[in-house]
Amino acid sequence: MADTNPLSNCRLAFIGCGTMAEAIIAGLLRKKLVGPEQIAGSHPREARREEMHVKYGVEMFEHNRDAVKEVSPESPDASSMIVLAVKPQRLRHVLQELKGSLVKEQLVVSIVAGAKIETIAEELLHASIVRTMPNTPAQIGEGVTAWTTSAEVTEEQERQVCAMLEALGKAVRVENERQIDMATALSATGPTYIFLVMEALIDAGVHMGFSRHVAQQLVHQTLLGSVLFAIESHKHPAELRNMVTSPGGTSAEAIYQMEKGSLRTVLSKAVWSAFQRAESLGKR
């Protein structure tokens, strides 16, 4: 049977092994998409290098260039990905350090918020770049990551990136970097909206007289179950809402108050403001 795993011949270097890099590494190994011998990582702190090595069996380097060199393709059928996973304020320094150390065939995948493909390409003198925008549930393999590529990225590399990002949950290809900013507002900032709604509902439960523990259980499962139901039923959210809104009932009363309080408009404005903020941060 043909090998359908696009990462079977790929070696990966993670530059900056913090929370997100660890989430990707753990997901890749858990799904058996790669073995630990295919992964190298770099980290400035020895304790963290030791921790990653013991936990996942991956080779760790103090210097970023050494991790990149370690995964250089050794044969024409081998491929290699460099994942930039440092905080945005560290990126320029890291790019300067890596300049000139990559071979043309290596693919650079950035998960750094706000970092433009053009900036990375210019700093690294390298053409094949993928820019991604994950979100925090990625840390438990339930995230969603928007991604887009520079023109030089090959179809095979696209398949590899998609497979790697699916280690974090779902991966959604978008058309351009403007849509990465849009995803920043919708899905990457998204958990913040949901957590606020979650908190408000739990507080409302406590206000009525539930213990916080009981209110939390009721709200968590209600949110989880509603999302799963919406996905599985394939119905429009308004249809699902109408199904439980009986004349003069509790849902009708609650919806009236939410519309009166402009909840829909507030959410829409919040997403739009976050989008404008993402765009302006990218211009700095």
Ligand X SMILES: NC(=O)c1ccc[n+]([C@@H]2O[C@H](COP(=O)([O-])OP(=O)(O)OC[C@H]3O[C@@H](n4cnc5c(N)ncnc54)[C@H](OP(=O)(O)O)[C@@H]3O)[C@@H](O)[C@H]2O)c1
The one-letter amino acid at 157: Q
83 lies in the site for ligand X, by CB under 6 A: no
Q: Which residue shows structure tokens 């009708």?
A: 252
Q: What values do phi and psi take at 268, rounded to 5? A: -60, -45
**Binding string, 12-31, against ligand X, x = CB under 6 A?**
---xx-xxx-----------
Q: Identify which of residues 10 and 85 has a Cβ nearer to ligand X in the complex.
A: 85
DSSP, collapsed to helix, strand or coil, labels residue 261 as: coil
Report the residue closest to ligand X, judged by CB.
Answer: 18
Q: CB of residue 13 vs ligand X: minimum separation in angstroms?
A: 11
The count of residues interacting with ligand X (CB under 6 A) is 25
Q: CB of residue 146 vs ligand X: minimum separation in angstroms?
A: 10
Q: CB of residue 40 vs ligand X: minimum separation in angstroms?
A: 12
Task: Tell me the C-alpha distance between 168 and 187, whole Å.
Answer: 14
- Collect all residues with Cβ–Cβ distance below 8 Å to 12 and sequence separation of at least 6: 28, 34, 38, 39, 40, 71, 80, 81, 82, 83, 164
Q: What values do phi and psi take at 169, rounded to 5? A: 135, -125
CB-CB contact of 104 with 122 (8 Å)? no
Q: Identify which of residues 19 and 176 has a Cβ nearer to ligand X in the complex.
A: 19
Task: Tell me the C-alpha distance between 225 and 58, whole Å.
Answer: 37
Task: Tell me the C-alpha distance between 40 and 11, whole Å.
Answer: 8
Q: Which residues within the stretch 23-82 sit at the binding site for ligand X (CB under 6 A)? A: 42-45, 64
Q: Which residues within the stretch 88-147 sit at the binding site for ligand X (CB under 6 A)? A: 88, 90, 93-94, 111-113, 134-136, 138
Given 87, 170, 212, 213, the residue binding ligand X (CB under 6 A) = 87
Given 24, 68, 86, 107, the residue binding ligand X (CB under 6 A) = 86
Where on the chain is the footprint of ligand X (CB under 6 A)?
15-16, 18-20, 42-45, 64, 85-88, 90, 93-94, 111-113, 134-136, 138, 188
